[in-house]
Chains A and B, each alone.
Chain A
């Protein structure tokens, strides 16, 4: 694994394993789709069509896309409530994800989970978890099972910077290291928890990477707004885990463009900080990079137009879906399909 590198992410350093051009184009496509999806989700929230809460991944696309491109179809994803991007990255249909946000029958879980719990076992998206920390321990379990079954599957677990200060993070890293589990922990350090900067409540500068050594892991710090870096780090970490080397921990430095959730404008963040990070937006940055690498602009324009059309179609399809059948209230508590607890 690479050592601590690029502590002040800037410029365009190459990742640990460089992606071929068609993979980079696919990553660009994923990011553009995620961006379009999240913007639409925000609009629909303001229109009152996305209910409850939602936590957008706007600005953080390069992490989900870079890892998504590096994973095999049999690998497992575990994500947080900020998990729309990670769900799309595994190939879950946009319309079903949008319908889930809108509480419709056509939703990924028919409206029973909502934005914070996106799950698509079919795509090995093993869940989005809304209690900070728990899913790191659950990802371990999938990795343990893979190891016992000699299945060669790797579990990839995404979480935020704030998650590094809860006990489950430390329990999970230690057990993963002791059992040499094929699991990759990916900290998306977007510098903020909800409304408090991570730096003000954390004993070390890099909340994940600086803790890696405590669990016998190599610290890996990458520019999370550079999809070549996230892809490269993902390939290296996943191969390390798959080949029996045990867990890996990657800290990807990134930034959310919007607020924490719902309509939060994120005004607690200094203007200069927001400006600086908007200037490092992973999508235009990658576009420029691809053009420089010789990709025809028409190819990228086509990706952008198709993504927009796909988002429009997904939103239409989701809106057309009826609310969930009310029989679902009592369905699927148990494996027999019901919720009975007595004779």
Chain B
């Protein structure tokens, strides 16, 4: 067992898979010699060489096209899109090509590929380098969508994503890169579509993702001091979505709060809320509450960004409203 940062866990996860399977290749901007703009891929070039760890031009379409064409012809590429905001310049490859090809070809083409990207806010980068776009991805049939909250999950879910026969968008929350956690030694492989219960309490259920998980846990601590005990579920993956874990908890607590970093409209919490409303209405003892970033781009200044993102105080308030 070693303590690793979320950042170092990325390199560890990629290395674990490249070591195991020679068909795994990795490409992106500044990922090789420079070790990534977030230093999350340091050492991979030295270890695996320039054939398998490829620096690319600033050509997001070419990066994802290369990953797709390689995946359909026998490789298992991991592509990096430096900031998830840049998906906007290559969304054709993601939404029209990668997501649809297996279906359109009646199953002839397999695309075992992973697209990693630094997602989300909290680092004062402003509106074009801070978006949470997991809900863009979730809206497109044919993409699996994964977002780890801990260094251990970075390794385990990345391994699961690489081994998955279908395309996976892997969102790393950039404010989590310096955070630390215990990571067991040896190979770690997780299962996509399984949520993790991070804390158990019988009064309400909080469902969160990525950087909102530690925040929800802080809120749970604060609520506990008032005598309110909440369950915190880390969804870990939006597609596939572990409805069972959420529904089981809601049956026990009767109250549901989602904590989403994405802007309000069509955030993933809306989907979770609608499923629970449709299937578990009579197990609910109060309204489902969604705590989200308001429907605005993220501002840059620290005070403004902090005010926009769901805070511990807003999560606590959300739980109180759910319990009223």
What chain B residues lie within 8 Å of A138 (beta carbons)? 65-66, 68-69, 72, 93, 97
Bound state CA distance, A167 and B64, in angstroms?
14
What chain A residues lie within 8 Å of B275 (beta carbons)? 342
Supply 7 further A-B pairs (C-beta < 8 A) apart from A144-B66, A145-B74: A109-B104, A134-B93, A138-B69, A142-B73, A168-B92, A332-B102, A343-B240
What chain B residues lie within 8 Å of A145 (beta carbons)? 69-70, 73-75
B68-86 residues with Cβ-Cβ distance < 8 A to A are 68-75, 77
Q: Which single member of B51, B109, B242, B243 contacts A121 (CB below 8 Å)? A: B109
* A175 in the interface (beta carbon within 8 A): yes
Bound state CA distance, A117 and B97, in angstroms?
11
Instruction: Please give me the residue from chain B that is nearest to A148 by CB atom.
Output: B51
State whether B96 touches A127 (Cβ < 8 A): no
Bound state CA distance, A338 and B29, in angstroms?
34
- Chain A interface (Cβ < 8 Å from any Cβ of B): 76, 109-110, 112-113, 117, 119-122, 126-127, 129, 131, 133-146, 148-149, 153, 155, 167-168, 171-172, 174-175, 178-179, 328, 331-335, 337, 339-343
What chain A residues lie within 8 Å of B142 (beta carbons)? 333
State whether B92 touches A134 (Cβ < 8 A): yes
Closest 4 CB pairs of A and B: A141-B69, A137-B65, A335-B165, A332-B107
B134-157 residues with Cβ-Cβ distance < 8 A to A are 141-142
Bound state CA distance, A130 and B52, in angstroms?
30
Bound state CA distance, A333 and B101, in angstroms?
9
State whether B62 touches A148 (Cβ < 8 A): no
* B289 in the interface (beta carbon within 8 A): no
Bound state CA distance, A91 and B96, in angstroms?
27
Instruction: Kindly provide the distance from the CB of A329 to the nearest chain B CB, expressed in whole angstroms.
Output: 10
28 CB contacts below 8 A, A to B, read A76-B73, A112-B106, A120-B108, A121-B105, A121-B108, A129-B97, A137-B69, A138-B93, A139-B65, A141-B73, A142-B70, A142-B73, A143-B69, A146-B73, A149-B74, A168-B65, A172-B65, A174-B62, A175-B59, A175-B62, A175-B66, A328-B106, A331-B106, A331-B107, A333-B103, A335-B164, A337-B107, A341-B239
State whether B106 touches A175 (Cβ < 8 A): no
What chain A residues lie within 8 Å of B110 (beta carbons)? 335
State whether B240 touches A341 (Cβ < 8 A): yes
What chain B residues lie within 8 Å of A175 (beta carbons)? 56-57, 59, 62, 66
* B61 in the interface (beta carbon within 8 A): yes
Instruction: Kindly provide the distance from the CB of A37 to the nearest chain B CB, expressed in whole angstroms.
Output: 20
What chain A residues lie within 8 Å of B59 (beta carbons)? 171, 174-175
Instruction: Please give me the residue from chain A that is nearest to B111 by CB atom.
Output: A335
* B294 in the interface (beta carbon within 8 A): no
What chain A residues lie within 8 Å of B69 (beta carbons)? 126, 137-145, 155
State whether B108 touches A335 (Cβ < 8 A): no
Instruction: Please give me the residue from chain A that is nearest to B52 by CB atom.
Output: A148
* B25 in the interface (beta carbon within 8 A): yes
Bound state CA distance, A308 and B101, in angstroms?
33
Bound state CA distance, A213 and B59, in angstroms?
19
What chain B residues lie within 8 Å of A126 (beta carbons)? 69, 72-73, 109
Known: A134-B61, A335-B166, A343-B240. A142 touches B72 (CB 8 A): yes
* B284 in the interface (beta carbon within 8 A): no
Bound state CA distance, A117 and B54, in angstroms?
30
State whether B244 touches A144 (Cβ < 8 A): no
* B67 in the interface (beta carbon within 8 A): yes
* B241 in the interface (beta carbon within 8 A): yes
State whether B104 touches A141 (Cβ < 8 A): no
Bound state CA distance, A331 and B54, in angstroms?
35
Q: Quick one: CB contact mask for B291-310 with A, threshold 8 Å, 1 for yes?
A: 00000000000000000000
What chain A residues lie within 8 Å of B241 (beta carbons)? 341-343
What chain B residues lie within 8 Å of A142 (beta carbons)? 69-70, 72-73
Instruction: Kindly provide the distance from the CB of B18 to the nearest chain A CB, expressed in whole angstroms.
Output: 13
Instruction: Please give me the residue from chain B that is nearest to A117 by CB atom.
Output: B104
State whether B244 touches A343 (Cβ < 8 A): yes
Bound state CA distance, A93 and B124, in angstroms?
57
What chain A residues lie within 8 Å of B103 (beta carbons)? 112, 332-333, 339
Instruction: Please give me the residue from chain B that is nearest to A176 by CB atom.
Output: B62
* B193 in the interface (beta carbon within 8 A): yes
State whether B66 touches A119 (Cβ < 8 A): no
